[in-house]
Structure 1
Amino acid sequence: MKKQVVLYKKLSPMLMSRLQAHADVTLIDEPKSDGLARLRAALPEAQGLLGASIKLDAALLDLAPKLEAVSSVSVGIDNYDLDYLDQRGILLSNTPDVLTETTADTGFALILASARRVVELANLVRAGQWKRNIGPLHFGSDVHGKTLGIIGMGRIGEALAQRGHFGFSMPVIYHSHSPKPAVEARFNAGYRSLDALLQEADFICLTLPLTAETEGLIGAREFALMRPESIFINISRGKVVDEAALITALQQAQIRAAGLDVFEREPLNHDSPLLHLNNVVATPHIGSATHETREAMARCAVDNLISALAGERPANLVNPKAWAVR
């Protein structure tokens, strides 16, 4: 008998057919709106869940007594209570690797757009305000040869370092929970304390996950350590940064600019001061948002769930403790 799967993210026809060959699938459209009620109604029979962008807390998963596995179409796991999943023996899998290069592309796009003031000056042209050759008032800053500081040297951090080191001759410095000799050898990178990196880097890029330890990591004290020429880039999670402190730092020219793909609350409120600052490039959480990468992520998630429901250990298991108690 096929297992019962609740799907709260649309799949391509090919991937839907693959999943349906292994499970009876209930698709919940728009689970963040009225679909949440239908998701709740479907949970009692669910043995597998597949989707993204919904916080699956204990109160919600208590409605799913038969649940065996959750397959997240994402890398971040901050929407899941790992202790709860471990206690129940529910396997959680995610989709690392497949989005690394695409997300690093987004990070470097924000570096270039912020440094060269691409959005601000493109809007000037669009508004018909380009009347003469631009002067120093609209000059940007170079990227090549500048110091790239990366906070969080995981897969995406390494991919960002590769672009900076080999593509733009940027000295690379980084901060993570421990030094990484292989990274240092490959990119001639230097390990720094967080404070030293903030003081030294021209571009300060966050690529670390949201955890209890990293939430609010960058606040008023940290922005005060940065130089007025610094450009701040966040492609990790919005809550790693105190957004009010970031706004103040930008308004008071403590830092030159910011390129932001993530925010404390998403979607970003229309009245956020960030939307009224010319030195901010804001994108709607597009880190992995390409056709190719999103399909690869969904394929990975489907494979993870099929393996888990077949009694096999998923290739991208997040919580091995749950596997041990099964």
Structure 2
Amino acid sequence: MTAPRRLVIHLRDDARPVYSIPDWAVDEIREALPDGWEVVVPDAPADGRGDGGDDLPPAVLDAVRDAEVYLGYGVPAAVLHAAPGLKWAHTASAGVGGSLRDEIAHSDVVLTNAAGVYAEPMADTVLAMMLHFARGLDFAVRAQADRRWDKAPFDDAESPIRELNEATVGIVGLGGIGRAVAHRASALGMTVVASRRGGGDGPDGVEVFHGEDALDQLLPRADFLVVTVPLTAETEGLIGARELAMLPEGAVVINVARGAVLDERALIDALRSGRLRGAGLDVFAREPLPDDSPLWTLPNVLVTPHVSGASHRFWRRQTELIVQNIRRYAAGGPLRNTVDKKAGY
């Protein structure tokens, strides 16, 4: 008798319950497979923090030895070593920086990611951060904590309070997240400009800059700078002191990409100088953010603990992507969200 082809799901019992795969999602994945396949869900906790953990419990290593497909948070090198017959690996994270080691980068294993799955809630978070600073909610929250009825920051002739429809948002990286941000900003009447590495146009109404000077064209126009690029060798340290100095006075910086894309020391200096209105940060160079980081106490900084993608609809979108790719894989077709291993996303 021919042994069944094996798909391993290592996405259960994550320390963050919202990211632990529910039973209904496992059932839908199993039902999408053609005859002759088995689904194995090891009795071992997953770890989806960052781009996924490096260590794998023995139960997972045992399960993947005969696996053809692996679904997990990240693709640790140990999976490649333990699964010589692996052909397709899917990471339920959007970032793949932690997975692109030599083992998978130089293998024939097809790697897919969850780019786009997180876009809607992340774009909502970006919008909330823009409104936080545009409408002075930072002033209101501090006053409330002190039980102060303080209208001064709103009534002052030099008040930074503004309407979003008079502002321009500059989006660095026009992938799934950037497009979702652009959609929301355009609906609110904002001017939207964006930079992207590849060619092609953006959504209707979005002015897109390409080429080596794309960022230099975008920055002077960005009242709100939204960073959504993946972390690669090219984007590490992309936004530093020079770039921050090119922003209009009173600009707001929002980073929901990866902490290493933004020079935190340069940002802290710019925030302390008063030249920037503020910064909304969901990601940091070190996570958790160290206790002694000035970002905790700067009054013009909004810190969220890498949760911009949190949503109860996460598994609906993730499962739909996986199921669609299972059907494509079974038919020998190209998979959605295939990672360009050289580009890093």
TM-score of the two chains, using structure 2 as the length reference: 0.78
- 1:49-82 CA-to-partner distances (Å, cap 9, x unmatched) read 3222x5x454664344343332111222222217
The match for 1:258 is 279
Amino acid at match of 1:43: L
Query: In 2 relative to 1, CA 132–3 (structure 1 residues): closer, same or farther, beyond 3 Å?
Result: closer
| C-alpha distance in structure 1 between counterparts of 2:333 and 2:255, whole Å | 33
The match for 2:16 is none
Kindly report which structure 2 residues correspond to 1:1-326, keeping only aligned pairs within 5 A, or say none: 1-3=4-6, 5-9=8-12, 10-19=20-29, 22-31=38-47, 39=57, 42-46=60-64, 47=67, 48-52=69-73, 54=74, 56-58=75-77, 61-81=80-100, 84-85=103-104, 87-125=106-144, 127-135=145-153, 136=155, 139-142=159-162, 143-167=164-188, 169-178=189-198, 180-183=200-203, 186-187=204-205, 189=207, 191=209, 193-301=214-322, 304=325, 308=329, 310=330, 312-313=332-333, 315-319=335-339
Query: In 2 relative to 1, CA 157–30 (structure 1 residues): closer, same or farther, beyond 3 Å?
Result: closer
Amino acid at match of 2:6: K
The match for 2:34 is none
State the number of aligned residues.
Answer: 313
CA offset at residue 279 of structure 1? 0.5
Contact 2:171-2:225 at 8 Å conserved across structures: yes
Query: In 2 relative to 1, CA 189–271 (structure 1 residues): closer, same or farther, beyond 3 Å?
Result: same
Contact 2:178-2:228 at 8 Å conserved across structures: yes
TM-score of the two chains, using structure 1 as the length reference: 0.82
- 1:114-149 CA-to-partner distances (Å, cap 9, x unmatched) read 322324522421x24223544446944212211111
Contact 1:69-1:90 at 8 Å conserved across structures: yes
Query: In 2 relative to 1, CA 282–305 (structure 1 residues): closer, same or farther, beyond 3 Å?
Result: farther
- 1:253-304 CA-to-partner distances (Å, cap 9, x unmatched) read 2322011122122232233211111101111222321101343224423654
Amino acid at match of 1:175: S
Over the residues paired in the alignment, what is the CA RMSD in angstroms? 3.1
What secondary structure sits across from 2:193 in the alignment? strand
| C-alpha distance in structure 1 between counterparts of 2:231 and 2:266, whole Å | 18
CA offset at residue 196 of structure 1? 2.9
CA offset at residue 101 of structure 1? 2.6
Amino acid at match of 1:102: P
Task: Decide which structure has greater helix share.
Answer: 1
| C-alpha distance in structure 2 between counterparts of 1:230 and 1:319, whole Å | 33
For structure 1, the 5+ residue unaligned runs are 322-326
- 1:3-23 CA-to-partner distances (Å, cap 9, x unmatched) read 151514421110123445641
Greater shift after overlay, 202-211 or 68-77?
Answer: 68-77
| C-alpha distance in structure 1 between counterparts of 2:150 and 2:274, whole Å | 27
